[in-house]
Structure formats: structure tokens, C-alpha cells
Amino acid sequence: MRYDKKRTIFYNVLFIVFCAALFLFLWNAPPETTKKLPQDKIHQRFQNMGKKAAEQFCEKCHNPKGEVPLPKKHPPKYRCLLCHKQTRK
């Protein structure tokens, strides 16, 4: 009886630790590796714009025939600024 209870608690703790680790992994991994919206003349005006408003301009240049096409292995590109973070002031 006591043994069973201890084991249940053990597995519950294990489960919580696992969830926390998974959550931290998912939360931390992408922003650290994905490039931010560049801070240069071209992109400066998008830094403080609403995300949805700014994203309408991205593909004017970043399209397969534009000046800076996305890399071939680019992930699904819906909502640029959720991945390429703005640096707001």
C-alpha cells in the first residue's frame, strides 16, 4: 500500500518534470536560432509596426523571384514575425 503510493507520486513527479522540460525546450529553442528581423534601413520601419500590417510587405522582396528569396528549406512561412522577431523599442 505505502509502496504503491510512493510509486504513484514518483511517476507523477517524473511526468511533471518531463512536461516542464518539453515546454522549456519548445519555448526556448526556436527564438535562439532563428534570425531576428534585421536592424537595417530596409527593415527598420517594420520594427514597431503591428505584426500583421508589417507582414504584408515582406513578400514584396522575399519571394522566389524577388531580390532575397527564402532558402529552399525554409519552414512554412505563414506569419513571418512570429519567428523572425522584431526588436521593439
Instruction: Pick one of 2, 5, 35, 88: the residue that binds ligand HEC (CB under 6 A).
Output: 35
Q: What amino acid is encoded at 28 in this protein?
A: N
Residues 18, 25: contact at Cβ < 8 Å? no
Distance CA 36, CA 39 (A): 8
**Shortest distance (Å) from residue 25 CB to ligand HEC:** 16
Cell of 81: 514575425
If one asks whether residue 45 binds ligand HEC (CB under 6 A), the answer comes out as no
Residues of this chain that bind ligand HEC (CB under 6 A): 34-35, 37-38, 40, 42-43, 46, 54-55, 57-62, 67-68, 70-71, 74-84
